[in-house]
């Protein structure tokens, strides 16, 4: 069996999806539908930049989704006529919205509007320079939790925000607290920890103002049962009842992304091959580290698309 996965924030680049936009009507239609939904030409920012504008979280999130949906719809029209070999869709953070749209659970129009607001509210949830995120390499979840607990007495919040794959965990929280934990990991555990160039401390409890705002939007949004099983970031299991989707997407903002567990869940349920659709190949790299026996395909450009069969 196969699964299709969609990337999250950080994979964006100016010009992503351009060859699909220029070549396939179904891809161009996705870009234009998102433009109409948002009331401005996000397509021009995606295709032409500038990078600083694309990198604004409120633009980045709907932009990555747009490219993922455009490639998927092209793939579905041109190459994948039958989804019988595909048992799961999943996405990393905002990629979960892409998976919901591609599985016909959420409309493209609603998805674009929600992600614009999600990006804006996440950016505004914490004042600039108050929060930080750091990637910790070569450590496992238990060690990170041990170091976080050891530093609990110091002021501020530090939490695991992304459990991506073995040896790659991201922590998020107050800047001073994150710096303290990074120093501790380097000094006492010989672990490499790198502060990330992000605009806010995503996927931790500091994002609660964003979660509160998004919950009001999500509970008023129409979702339907996905045509393909979606694996939730929050539970690392399938969303069995579509009525749970607003609650899960709200929790996703403050909870850590359980990507390693999600991939393991899909693998245990028969998935041998993962297809990453969208800009970059971050998820492909993570999946290879999660299971050596798992195979992957990345579709980010038209050359990769043409090679796909």
Q: Which residues belong to the active site?
A: 93, 203
Coil vs helix vs strand at 7? coil
Coil vs helix vs strand at 149? helix
Coil vs helix vs strand at 168? strand
Tokens of 252: 């996703």
CA distance 175 to 132: 5
| Sheet strands side by side (includes 295-299) | 229-231, 86-91, 2-6, 273-277, 295-299
Under a CB-based contact definition with an 8 Å cutoff, are residues 88 and 5 in contact?
Answer: no
CA distance 219 to 209: 16
Q: How far apart are the first and last CA of the chain?
A: 15
CA distance 65 to 308: 21
CA distances (Å), origin 277, targets 45, 150, 281: 20, 40, 9
């Amino acid at each position: 069996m196969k699964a299709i996965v969609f990337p999250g924030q950080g994979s964006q680049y100016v010009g992503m999806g351009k060859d699909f936009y220029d070549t396939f009507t179904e891809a161009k239609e996705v870009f234009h539908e998102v433009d109409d939904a948002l009331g401005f030409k996000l397509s021009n920012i995606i295709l032409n930049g500038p990078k600083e504008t694309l990198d604004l979280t409120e633009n980045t999130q709907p932009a990555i989704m747009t490219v993922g949906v455009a490639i998927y719809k092209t793939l579905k029209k041109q190459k994948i006529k039958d989804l019988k070999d595909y048992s799961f869709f999943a996405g990393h953070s905002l990629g979960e919205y892409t998976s919901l749209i591609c599985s016909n659970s959420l409309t493209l129009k609603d998805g674009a509007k929600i992600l614009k607001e999600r990006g804006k509210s996440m950016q505004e949830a914490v004042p600039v320079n108050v929060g930080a995120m750091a990637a910790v390499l070569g450590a496992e979840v238990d060690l990170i939790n041990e170091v976080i607990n050891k530093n609990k007495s110091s002021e501020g919040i530090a939490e695991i925000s992304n459990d991506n794959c073995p040896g790659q965990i991201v922590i998020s929280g107050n800047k001073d607290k994150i710096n303290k934990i990074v120093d501790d990991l380097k000094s006492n555990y010989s672990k490499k920890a790198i502060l990330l160039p992000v605009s806010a401390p995503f996927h931790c409890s500091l994002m609660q103002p964003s979660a509160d705002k998004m919950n009001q939007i999500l509970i008023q949004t129409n979702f339907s049962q996905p045509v393909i099983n979606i694996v939730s970031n929050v539970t690392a299991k399938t969303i069995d009842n579509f009525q749970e989707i607003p609650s899960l997407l709200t929790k996703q903002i403050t909870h850590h992304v359980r990507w390693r567990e999600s991939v393991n869940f899909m693998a245990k349920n028969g998935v041998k091959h993962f297809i990453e659709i969208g800009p970059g190949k971050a998820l492909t790299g993570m999946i290879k580290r999660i299971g050596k026996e798992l195979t992957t395909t990345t579709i980010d450009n038209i050359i990769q698309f043409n090679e796909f069969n």
